Amino acid sequence: MEFHISRPDTAIRPALQAKIDNLTKPKGSLGRLEELALQVGLIQQTLSPELRHPQNIVFAADHGIVAEGVSIAPKEVTWQQVCHFTHPQGTGGVNFLCRQHGFTLKVVDAGVDYDLPHDRGIIDLKVARGTRNFLHGPAMTEAQMEQCLAGGAQVVRQCFEEGSNVLSFGEMGIGNTSPSSIWMSYFTGIPLAECVGAGSGLDSAGIRHKYEVLRQAMGNYAGDGSPRDLIRWFGGFEMVMAIGAMLQAAELRMAILVDGFIMTNCMLAASKLYPEVLDYAVFGHCGDESGHRKVLDALGARPLLNLGLRLGEGTGAICAYPILDSAVRMINQMDTFSGADITKYF
C-alpha cells in the first residue's frame, strides 16, 4: 500500500512563533508547551489549532515466536485482555484512562488466535490466527503485510470521518516485545543485547533465553534486508497494522500520540518507510522496558512523561494527552501583551 505523506508547510512557522512569543509570558517560559503548540499549528496549518475527538486504537494479535518461551505470559492472555477491554464495565487499564481523558476506545482484532465474541464492538480485521514463528521463517507473507497496512489505514480513516484529528495507538499481543527488539536492533544498529528486556516480567534467566532465541532468529534471517522485508519477516499483525494506521494518520495531517516500547518501534519502522511521519509524532512517555530510552534517543525523541509505565495498550500516550491539550489551550486562550495592555519587555 502506498501513502502520500508530506512534511508540514513551514511557511506558517514565523507567524506561529510570533503568536507564541507575544503571549503574556517571558519568551520561552512555557517550555515544551510552546514547542508542542508550534508542532500542532504546523500540522494543522493554522494559528489557532484545536484537538477534536481523541481516540485510542488498540490493535491485538498473537505471535508464533511465543512457542519459543520468550514471554512469561501465556498466549491466551491476548484474547482474555481483548475481552476485558471490551467488557461492558470497561475495567482495564486503558479503559479508565480513556474515560478520564475523554478518549473513544477502539479495539481491533488484527490476528488473535481465538474466536472473539461478536457482541463486544471489536473491529474484526483478523489476518490469521497469529503470525508464524519467525525463528524458522518470515512471520507473515507479503500479502498479509499489505492486508495489515490497509487495515490500519482503514480504521484511521473511520476515525477521521468521525471528526478526530488526534489519535493514540496501543497494542495487545503476548510476545510482541520480541519483534520490537529485533526491529530496534536492525533499524538503529544498537546491539540486540541492549534491545532485549523483561517484557511482561521475565527474570534474568528468561531474558537471557529470550536474547538467545532472538539472536538465532536474526542469524536465520534470509531476506533482502530492506525495511519492508524486515517489517514483514519479524513483525506482528497488530504491529504492522499500527504502522499502517500511523502512516494514514500522517497522510491525513493528524497528530499522533506515540505510546511505549512497542509503539515507539512501530513509529521507528514507519519512519524507515516514510521519514515524514515523524513530523506528526508526539512521544508520550519513556517506559521501563529495557531499550525504550535508547530507541527514543535514536529517534531524537523527547518523551513528555517518565512514569515507569510498561503496560502498553496506549496508556502512556493517553496520560500525556493533557499536556498536548494544555499546549493548544495556551496558544488559543492566553492574551497577547498588546491585547492585555501589558508592557512587552523583551
What is the per-residue pLDDT across 131-155, written as a single tens digit (0 to 9) for each?
999 999 999 999 999 999 999 999 9
d(CA 195, CA 235): 15
Taking each helix axis from N to C end, the angle separating 177-188 and 227-234, rounded to the nearest 10 degrees, works out to: 160
Among candidate residues 60, 234, 56, 251, the one with its CA nearest the CA of residue 145: 234
pLDDT digits (tens, 9 = 90+) for 164-178: 999 999 999 999 999
pLDDT tier at 342, thresholds 50, 70, 90 = confident
**Average pLDDT, integer, range 222-248:** 98
Determine the pLDDT at residue 86. Answer: 94
Contacts of 179 (CB under 8 A, 6+ apart): 63, 65, 134, 139, 234, 235, 236, 239
Determine the pLDDT at residue 93. Answer: 92
Determine the pLDDT at residue 118. Answer: 84
d(CA 66, CA 133): 8
For the chain, the average pLDDT equals: 96
Query: From edge to edge, which strands make up the β-sheet containing 123-124?
Result: 123-124, 104-111, 55-61, 166-172, 255-258, 281-283
The reported pTM is: 0.96
d(CA 40, CA 176): 30
Residue 156 has pLDDT above 80, yes or no: yes
| C-alpha distance across the termini of the chain, in Å | 50
Determine the pLDDT at residue 346. Answer: 75
Q: Which residues are designated catalytic?
A: 313
Among candidate residues 146, 88, 158, the one with its CA nearest the CA of residue 120: 88
Q: How far is CA 121 from the centre of its chain?
A: 22
Here the cell at position 231 is 517489517
**Average pLDDT, integer, range 266-272:** 98
Give backbone dihedrals phi and psi of 55, rounded to 5 degrees, phi first. Answer: -135, 145
Contacts of 181 (CB under 8 A, 6+ apart): 192, 195, 196, 197, 214, 265, 291
**Average pLDDT, integer, range 283-308:** 94
All domains of the chain, ordered by start, with CATH? 55-322 (3.40.50.10210)
- Burial of 40-52, coded b for 16+ CB within 10 Å and e otherwise, reads bbbbbeeeebebe
Determine the pLDDT at residue 338. Answer: 83
Determine the pLDDT at residue 112. Answer: 98
Here the cell at position 237 is 499483525
Determine the pLDDT at residue 198. Answer: 87
**Average pLDDT, integer, range 273-279:** 98
d(CA 224, CA 186): 12
Residue 339 has pLDDT above 90, yes or no: no
Residue pointed to by grid coordinates 526491529: 183
